[in-house]
A and B are shown apart, each in its own frame.
Chain A
Amino acid sequence: MSDLEKFRNETRAWLKANCPPDMRLPLEVDEDRCWGGRNATFKSAGQRLWLERMLARGWTVPEWPKDYGGGGLSREEGKILRAEMRKLGCRSPLDSFGIWMLGPALFKYGTAAQKSEYLPQIARGEIRWCQGYSEPNAGSDLASLATRAEDRGDHFLVNGQKTWTSYADKADWIFCLVRTDPAAPKHLGISFILFDMKTPGVSTKPILLISGKSPFCETFFDDVRVPKGHVVGEINKGWEVAKYLLTHEREMISAIGLTAGRPLGQIAAESLGTEAGILADGCLRADIARFEIDAFAFQLALERTGDLLQAKQANPAISSMLKYYGAELNKRRHELVMSAGGSDALEWESERSGNGEWARGWLRTKGNSIEGGTNEVQLNVIAKRILELPGA
């Protein structure tokens, strides 16, 4: 038996023995995720136990080095772990912007001190991070952001406003883009800084969305003092860090559809019934099958893109393709979920619809093609950086 086969067998056995039964059920709603943080809450004892057991092996971040709290797995081993978790239906033990976005940026741009301070906290889920990028007048044109950080000797003084800050009201720290040189061309005067959300002068205000939920906030900075050592990368070169991090954000958003729950055919069969093993609604059945084909292929494309990037055979801008396609796929999925639910799914406040969860989930997905760079921005990136079309 090869080492990898041995690893696969051991991993499968360990997962079977250690993943609590309720952590092997599909996620129903976003609140089912474990986000960690200073004020971490757990929906069940199983969820807490699952996090503790995975933490002990460094498997919240399986491919990070052990020195930083990771599992020290190779890419191949990481793929096997993910595949086995998928097969058994194991949930992710810890979801975090620290893992998906800030961590990779710190590995590339952080100082030794920053890495040893922040990475282990991220791996253990001790600090919940949020991302301060968008502003009221800087959406798709992100680099025109106006939040100022003035040099006051040993610290920066930050003033301004961010918006669409995911879970800012629940986060412990923020990684944030600020303008440190107002005179420079817009991409060249930006820095990437980190600070505690408890710092005096920081306040947040949730934004009520069409789903009736508030996963995003407006975030205000009023004379917030940030030590200079909290800048990641060079001062005024934060745009480089920001772009690098965005590619990871795109991969993360594109992967959302994959963890989103049970097979659609099963949902529709339970909701609408079957005749001789086949969904009675032929048009819906065809739409679902076409969706599942694309979703299956997309999962393979995620895997292949990772392998190609690893082998240095892919353009890094390929993450825009995954973001674009993944967002559309997730929107399609939820349109079909609503269709499968029929009028039950339209009930905003009843048990039959899980108190409107079907509809809330559906409405939430409409943001997938806006957040992290709109579809149109992703298509521009593909046209310019991959297809090399003129004047894009």
Chain B
Amino acid sequence: MALVLNEEQMMVRDNARAFLAAKGPVSHLRKLRDARDPGGFSRELWKAFAEMGFCGILVPEALGGSGLGYVEAGVIMEEIGRNLTPSPFLSTALVGATTFLRDGNSARNSELLPKLAAGDVVVALAVDERKKHAPSATALKAERSGNGFALTGDKCFVVDGHVADLFIVAARSAGAPGETDGVTLFLVDSKAKGIEIERTIMVDAHNAARIRFARVEVDADAVIGEVDHGWPLLEAALNVGRAAVAAELAGLGEEAFGRTLAYLKERKQFGQPIGSFQALQHRAAHVFTELEITQAAVLKALQMLDTDFQRAPMVVSVAKARAGASATLAVGEAVQMHGGIGMTDEFDIGFFMKRARVGQELFGDAGFHADRLARLQNY
């Protein structure tokens, strides 16, 4: 398969580009932040996402979705990255939908997925428990209780956890933290008894939550996948999240760089555009190079998720590590090359820097993925 978008994928990109630039530009995020909006995102915009077919991008048409693939979902993420549009698209339409679709519980899916595609339900994945991403270290306890389980423990960095209707919770039903066996996934109503949610407004004005589970009782049919053997499904959901964040960071980096490039051509000092100085030209050419190399890895990761899901993890790690590093470079150079104005809140470039930092951390930073790659290659 050629490493380029096909015509249909380009159409999805063009539609998403026009839609998000009109409805969810950076000023939209700024407004939500300044108003201290309780949800941190616009329900109205989320409805519009549903009408565009974004919420159900992965959901089969028979269940009310668009029936498209990860490349199409990824190009939407890239446009979200360009505009820094806050929405539960990542948590619900990608990570959530992937978990349900790969589990393939038809009773649950025929009820839940049409709602998900209609934008009527928000799903959040609760996996991290510590400051750094380490899913195999899952410790939140799932104990047999009645004909179901009782969940006890704490989760953090649950993206969109403060507005979710449902949580997908990774829990330890057997074995010890550090082992991949013994992890079970549960689908839990966010209003269930014993759940305490603390909204955490993040540096990028997006939202997450810390969630405390105090003996939260769930039925046996809350289990997603198999008891004690939830790891492959969790990894599948995480890999989709990683590739999606990589796509978002790729778009974010390109936009930050595009704005910087425009500034280099327009800003004059010493009587000439600062972009005529070789010291800046070479750095700009270097940023361009890093971003282009990343684009190839991101597209390959998305294609692999569509065509050879089981063999995707390695290239997903490459894409996530690359995207984090090149976006970090692009926003750092963006602020530096904008000079003083880049440090002001009034100017938008700082928003890109903040989001890049969060994206770098989410689902594993460059160090996490370098370690993962090394293990996959036996060293």
List the interface of chain A (C-beta within 8 A of B). Answer: 76, 263, 265-266, 268-269, 274, 277-279, 285-286, 288-290, 292-294, 296-298, 300-301, 303-305, 307-308, 310-311, 313, 318, 321, 324-325, 376, 378-380, 382-383, 386-392
7 contacts between A and B (CB under 8 A): A285-B379, A293-B370, A294-B293, A296-B297, A386-B285, A386-B288, A390-B265
Give the nearest-CB partner of B315 in chain A. Answer: A296
Question: Are A286 and B315 in contact (CB-based, < 8 A)?
Answer: no
| Complex: A301 Cα to B326 Cα, angstroms | 14
A293 to B324, CA, bound (A): 12
Interface of A is mostly: helix
Complex alpha-carbon distance, A311 and B317, angstroms: 28
Q: Which of B273, B285, B322, B370 contacts A390 (CB 8 A)?
A: B273
Residue from B276, B289, B300 within 8 A of A389 (CB atoms) = B276
Report B128 CB to chain A, min CB distance, Å: 22
B-chain residues with CB within 8 Å of residue A318 when the two chains form the complex = 292
> Measured between alpha carbons, how far is A298 from B4 in the docked complex, in Å?
15
**Other-chain residue from B261, B265, B292, B317 in contact with A321 (beta carbon distance below 8 A):** B292
Do the beta carbons of B296 and A293 come within 8 Å of each other? no
- Count B-side interface residues using an 8 Å CB cutoff: 44
- Alpha-carbon distance A356/B240, docked complex (angstroms): 46
Across the A-B interface, the 8 shortest Cβ-Cβ residue pairs: A265-B379, A382-B285, A289-B370, A383-B281, A304-B3, A391-B276, A300-B296, A301-B296
Residue B136 lies at the interface, judged by CB distance under 8 Å to chain A: no
Q: Which chain A residues border B273 with CB–CB below 8 Å?
A: 390-391
- In the assembled complex, B92 has its CB within 8 A of some CB on chain A: no
Instruction: Assess the A391–B282 pair: CB atoms within 8 A.
Output: no
B50 CB-CB contact with A under 8 Å: no
Nearest CB on A from B303, distance (A): 10
Q: Distance in Å from the Cβ of A333 to the closest Cβ of chain B?
A: 15
Q: Would you call B294 an interface residue if the criterion is a C-beta within 8 Å of the partner chain's C-beta atoms?
A: yes
Distance between Cα atoms of A368 and B57 in the complex (Å):
45
Do B285 and A383 have beta carbons less than 8 Å apart?
yes
* Closest chain A residue to B321, Cβ basis: A293
The answer, yes or no, to whether B367 is at the interface (CB within 8 Å) is yes
- Does B127 reach chain A (CB closer than 8 Å)? no
* Bound form: Cα–Cα A386–B288 in Å: 9
CB distance from A368 to the nearest CB of B (A): 15
Please state if B288 and A297 are interface contacts (CB–CB under 8 Å).
Answer: no
Residues of A within 8 A of B289 (CB): 321, 324-325, 382
Contact of A292 among B3, B297, B377 (CB under 8 A): B377
Instruction: Collect the chain A residues with CB atoms within 8 Å of residue B375's CB.
Output: 277-278
- In the complex, are the beta carbons of A266 and B370 less than 8 A apart? no
* Contact of B366 (CB < 8 Å), options: A278, A290, A391: A290
| C-alpha gap A360/B119 in the complex (Å) | 62
The digit string for B265-307, where 1 denotes a CB below 8 A from any CB of A, is 1000000110110100110111011001111110110000000
CA of A54 to CA of B157 in the docked complex: distance in angstroms? 56
Kindly list chain A residues whose C-beta atoms are within 8 Å of the C-beta of B244: none
In the complex, what residue of chain A is closest to B319 when comparing beta carbons?
Answer: A297
In chain B between 321 and 379, which residues have their CB closer than 8 angstroms to a CB of chain A? 321-322, 366-367, 369-371, 373-375, 377-379
Residue numbers in B under 8 Å from A265 (CB-CB): 374, 377-379
Q: Which of A301, A325, A386, A389 has the most CB atoms of chain B within a 10 A radius of its CB?
A: A389
Q: In the complex, which residues of chain B have a beta carbon less than 8 angstroms from the beta carbon of A279? A: 374, 379
B318: chain A residues at CB < 8 Å are 293, 296-297
Find chain B residues with CB under 8 A from A379 CB. 281-282, 285-286
Partner pick for A285 among B264, B315, B369, B374, CB 8 A cutoff:
B374
For residue B2, CB closer than 8 A to chain A, the reply is yes
Q: 16 other contacts beyond A290-B370, A390-B276, A392-B281, with CB at 8 A cut-off?
A: A269-B379, A290-B366, A294-B322, A300-B296, A300-B300, A303-B296, A304-B4, A305-B296, A307-B3, A307-B4, A325-B289, A383-B282, A386-B288, A387-B285, A391-B276, A392-B276
Q: Do A297 and B4 have beta carbons less than 8 Å apart?
A: no
Interchain nearest-CB distance for B180 vs A (Å): 15
Assess the A383–B3 pair: CB atoms within 8 A. Answer: no
Chain A's closest residue to B320 (CB) is A293
Which residues of chain B are within 8 angstroms of A297 by Cβ–Cβ distance?
293-294, 296-297, 318-319, 322
Which residues of B lie under 8 Å from residue A266 when comparing CB positions? 377-379
Q: Among B4, B281, B369, point to the contact of A293 (Cβ < 8 A).
A: B369
Q: Are A376 and B4 closer than 8 Å at their CB atoms?
A: no
Q: A297 CA to B264 CA in the complex, in Å?
A: 28
**A389 in contact with B297 (CB, 8 Å):** no
- Check B370–A308 contact: CB distance below 8 A: no
Interface centre among A300, A305, A307 (most CB of B within 10 A): A300
- Once the chains bind, are B377 and A263 in contact (CB under 8 Å)? yes
Residues of A within 8 A of B278 (CB): 380, 383, 392
B265, A389: Cβ atoms closer than 8 Å = yes
Cα-based distance from A268 to B272 in the complex (angstroms): 50
Task: Determine if A292 and B373 form an interchain contact, defined as CB atoms under 8 angstroms apart.
Answer: yes
The distance in angstroms between the C-alpha atoms of A313 and B272, with both chains bound, is 32
* CA gap between A263 and B276 in the complex, in Å: 41
Minimal beta-carbon separation of A315 from chain B (angstroms) = 11
Alpha-carbon distance A392/B288, docked complex (angstroms): 16
CB distance from B239 to the nearest CB of A (A): 16
Question: What A residues does B366 contact at CB under 8 A?
Answer: 290, 293
B261 touches A387 (CB 8 A): yes
B281 and A389: CB pair below 8 A?
yes
| B368 CB to nearest chain A CB (Å) | 11
Chain B residue numbers with a CB within 8 Å of A378 are 285
Bound complex: CA of A391 vs CA of B273, how far in Å?
A: 9
**A226-B292 Cα distance, complex, nearest whole Å:** 44
A263: which B residues are within 8 A, CB to CB?
A: 377
Contact of A289 among B4, B282, B293, B373 (CB under 8 A): B373
Closest Cβ of chain B to A260, distance in Å, is 16
Q: Name the residue in A278, A289, A308, A390 with the highest tally of chain B Cβ atoms < 10 Å from its Cβ.
A: A289
Assembly CA distance A378 to B286 (angstroms): 10
Q: Which A residue's beta carbon lies closest to that of B2?
A: A307
**Structural contact, B379 and A301, CB atoms closer than 8 A:** no
- Determine how close the nearest CB of chain B comes to the CB of A54; give it in whole angstroms: 25
